[in-house]
Amino acid sequence: MTAPVLSPLQAVGAITLRNYTTYRRYWKLFLTGFLEPVLYLFSIGIGVGQLIDTFELNGRAIPYAEFVAPAMLAVSAFNGAMLDSTYNVFFKLKYDKLYDQMLATPLTTGDIARGEILWGQLRGATYSAAFLLVMVALGMVSSWWALLALPATLLIGFAFSAVFMAWTTYMKSFQDFDKITLVQLPLFLFSATFFPVEAYGDGVLRWAVEATPLYRGVVLCRELTTGSLTWGSAVSVVYLVVMGVVGLLVVRRRLDALLRT
């Protein structure tokens, strides 16, 4: 008797359901990625914001807290995608051998890649949705374009989930996660999260910052929540889509190499 063939949608749904069933018992773990940007918002966005009058964004003056809040929204999606696509994927791949077990079913490496990336994306979106509610409650959303902020965080989560999962497949031990911290912290601090990119001047440093993925996510969220849209948002969408697709392709190739040899 041959095993039934699953469609890509059914396969991704099965993996997502498995992850949901597992993680709903550990819902408190979800608070970690959500609370960090909220605390930064209150301490820096609102606290330091009392010392700063307004910031200019695309020719429009906005309160400092409204400048920082959308950046923390992008960071929420970034945190969720990173946490699930690194530590959890590494444990499933290297220790739990979960993916080997999945391949004994009709699932393929492509199904595993899409399912895990979707779950990391959904985790990031969960953080972002909760954070967006905080922004609305505090009056930090000033445009109806903000309705697109949640889909934007899904895109951010997709891009980072795919790339971080691809990176994780190259890791040999938990010591390798120190390298992720070396990337995470600079991205968080220097992606125009707390001050405008113009502060870097017009040199190479500014160009380097503008080429980083979290900066593109910050630009997208900031322009949507404030209604100050420019072509920068379109550039960010294309950038993040390409980043996610490339990451997905690498993940599938790596899973084939690791699990089918």
Which residues, including other chains, have CB under 8 Å from residue 127's CB and lie 6 or more apart? 30, 33, 34, 37, 76, 77, 79, 80
Separation between Cα atoms, residue 159 and residue 19, nearest integer Å: 19
Residue corresponding to tokens 């307004």: 54
| pLDDT in the model for residue 260 | 76
Residue corresponding to tokens 């773990």: 29
In a domain, 253, yes or no: yes
Separation between Cα atoms, residue 45 and residue 38, nearest integer Å: 10
Q: What is the pTM of this model?
A: 0.90
| pLDDT in the model for residue 209 | 92
- Going by the DSSP 8-state scheme, the letter that residue 147 receives in this structure is G
State CA 35 to chain mean position distance: 15
- The dihedrals phi and psi of 22, each to the nearest 5 degrees, come to -70, -45
In a domain, 2, yes or no: no
Distances (CA, A) of 159 to 58, 124, 171, 227: 26, 11, 19, 23
In a domain, 251, yes or no: yes
In a domain, 158, yes or no: yes
As given in the structure block, the two tokens for residue 71 are: 């950046």
In a domain, 167, yes or no: yes
In a domain, 64, yes or no: yes
In a domain, 115, yes or no: yes
Separation between Cα atoms, residue 167 and residue 187, nearest integer Å: 16
pLDDT in tens, 124-137: 888 888 888 888 88
Owning domain of residue 45: 8-259
Distances (CA, A) of 240 to 140, 183, 201: 25, 17, 25
Minimal CA–CA distance to 66: which of 137, 135, 145, 148? 135
| pLDDT in the model for residue 1 | 46
- Tell me the pLDDT of the chain (261 aa) as tens digits: 455 667 888 888 889 888 888 877 766 666 666 677 777 777 776 777 776 777 777 777 888 888 999 999 998 889 888 888 998 899 999 888 999 999 888 899 999 999 999 988 888 888 888 888 888 888 888 888 989 999 999 999 999 999 999 999 999 888 888 888 888 889 998 999 988 888 888 889 999 999 999 999 999 999 999 988 999 999 999 999 999 999 999 999 999 999 876
Give the chain's domain count.
Answer: 1
Which residues, including other chains, have CB under 8 Å from residue 41's CB and lie 6 or more apart? 65, 68, 69, 72, 134
In a domain, 3, yes or no: no
